[in-house]
Amino acid sequence: MPKSTSNSITYAGTFERSMDAKNRVTIPAAWLSGGPDEFHAIPGPSGDCLIVMPPEEFDSIESRIEQSGEPAPKRRMAIRQFYGQARAVSADSNGRILLPEEQCDSVKLKGDVVLVGGRSRFEIWNAKRWDDVSAEESASYRQVAELIGL
């Protein structure tokens, strides 16, 4: 039986991990403690990472698409693409999730990976790709952080 979910879980931090030969990766204990052990994984729209969402976040996507203001055929296509690419994953007793082979292949996950918190969801990146993206994003982050007085 899945754990009850809690709005108090915030996926924060960056964690380096190694995927095993079966495509299992260990989720940080703080991300599982008191929160869900069932998730949905979907390749990010850019194809760079897997986005992993707890049930509440996953369940909210359809209404967010419906409220996007896009024409009905485009909304229907987005819903079909999103849910058609999503796969259910759950943490085992060791806190590992088994990632689907086709998703790992599509975003080039193998060996060293990085789990990156995104508050209500987290991402799993190829470690080398994450290093590149993180370096590219740092200037934009500094600008926004300065703008908001961080």
| pLDDT tens digits along 18-46 | 999 999 999 999 999 878 899 999 999 99
The backbone region for 62, taken as left when phi is positive above 0, alpha when psi lies in -120 to 50, beta otherwise, is alpha
Domain that holds residue 123: 14-147
Asked if residue 39 is part of any domain, the answer here is yes
Domain assignment of residue 4, yes or no: no
* CATH number of the domain that residue 41 is part of: 3.40.1550.20
Residue 9 lies in a domain: no
Model pLDDT, residue 8: 65
Domain-embedded: residue 135: yes
8 within a domain of the structure (yes/no): no
pLDDT, tens only, 104-114? 999 999 999 99
118 compared with 34, residue with greater pLDDT? 118
Q: Is the residue at 1 inside a domain? A: no
The predicted pLDDT at position 20 comes to 96
Report how many domains make up the chain: 1
| Domain presence at residue 32 | yes
Tell me if 2 is assigned to some domain.
no
pTM for the structure as a whole:
0.89
Q: Considering Cα of 89, then 91, then 97, then 98, what sign does the dihedral take? A: negative
